[in-house]
Amino acid sequence: MVEATRPSVVVLIPAWHPDERLLQLVTELQAHLRLRIVIVLDGDQEQYPQIVESLSNLESVTLLKHVVNLGKGRALKTGFNWILAELPTAIGVVTADADGQHTPEDIVRVAEALIVEPKRFILGARSFHGDVPFRSRMGNSITRNLFWMLAGRRIQDTQTGLRGIPLHRLAGLMTLNGERYEYEMNMLAYLCRSGAPPVEVPIRTIYIENNRSSHFDPIRDSMRIYFVLLRFYFSSLIAAGIDFIFFTVTFSLTHDVLYSMVVGRLSSIANFLLNRRFVFHSSTSVRGALWRYYALVVVFGAIGYGVITGLSRWLHVPVLLAKIVTETVLSLASFALQRLFVFPASSVPE
């Protein structure tokens, strides 16, 4: 159990429509250990005056207030900013949800893991076994696999709100885009790319009344999250568009697949620069990454030329259609190899 004499961990809870479950959670947390608890009331607190008053009377609890609802991402940033300014000696922050999905025991377990690994990112990972709503089980499965493919980390629970974050990482997190639920995915991608793999701590999988009280919109907020993941692949789509335009124009003039592919590959420099700066945030030398990148360009160019030529000559597939199909498949493989070989995560300092 975490003791008061050990390094301090701050529990940060963003809350919209705070109710008795939040009050019970905070009260039980205080019974477990002496933790500093920061609650960001994200609008609508005037509708719950008794809850707000009860929370404000609890020892070691700080209430920060948004007059209107600004979203979970903004509430987390507000909390991070206050903690950095007012509690600079804390070793880190544990973020938790206000709706009863995180037990005091699990919050303490994540806090203890952060104390043991004060420079590592901690994730409270649910197993999704048992009575789990279908939308939650399916949503986590989709995002888990997309995250692995595009961000390069296998994470058990990509949508957990129970996270332990070292204090020195908060300033970087505050600069990330996102004001609502998509911000948590931005956080996860940033932390997984810019440091050691997260420590995953098993926690209980709890859904109250089939998760009916959740403020997560399964369509709108899911799309925001998936757009965050697709941002990783967006630079490849830009380069593919440039490549296709150059290829199409050149092929219409020359009817030469090889020459058209060489001209199309002029787009690769844009892909390299975008991936290095905005996607993988790589700190490797340009020279070192460049030769590895163009080694892949040559290899995949040769494969693409062989496949496109084969499809057009032997199966009589139109060249432009063969180009689209071939490059779509190869771009996914190229992206994965860039992530592992050209811009490895270990090249990014903590």
- Per-residue pLDDT reduced to its tens digit, 135-144: 666 666 777 7
Quote the pLDDT of residue 86: 94
CA pair distance 306, 322, nearest whole angstrom = 11
Quote the pLDDT of residue 223: 56
Regions of the chain with pLDDT less than 70: 1-7, 33-34, 45, 128-140, 150, 195, 207-233, 281, 283, 345-350
Contact 334, 300 (CB under 8 A): yes
How would CATH label the architecture of 9-218?
Alpha-Beta Complex (3.90)
Q: Residues for the chain: how many in total?
A: 350
Give me the amino acid identity at 195.
Answer: G
Quote the pLDDT of residue 34: 67
Quote the pLDDT of residue 348: 41
Half-sphere exposure of residue 1: CA atoms within 13 angstroms, side-chain side: 11
- Per DSSP bridges, beta strands 163-166 and 92-95 are antiparallel
CA pair distance 239, 241, nearest whole angstrom = 5
pTM higher than 0.75, yes or no? no
* Segments making up each domain of the chain, as ranges: 9-218, 233-347
Quote the pLDDT of residue 325: 92
Long-range interactions of 225-228: CB distance < 8 A, separation 24+? 225/143, 225/159, 225/181, 225/182, 225/185, 226/143, 226/146, 227/182, 228/178, 228/182, 228/185, 228/186, 228/189
Contact 268, 241 (CB under 8 A): no
Quote the pLDDT of residue 231: 64
Quote the pLDDT of residue 230: 64
Cβ atoms within 10 Å of 2's Cβ, excluding its own: 18
Quote the pLDDT of residue 153: 78
- DSSP-assigned letters across all residues of 181-212: THHHHHHHHHHHHSSSPPEEEE-----GGGGT
Tens digit of each residue's pLDDT (9 = 90 or more) over 256-288: 999 999 999 888 888 888 888 777 767 678 888
- DSSP-assigned letters across all residues of 28-46: HHHHH---EEEEEEES-GG
3-class DSSP state for residue 95?
Answer: strand
Quote the pLDDT of residue 307: 95
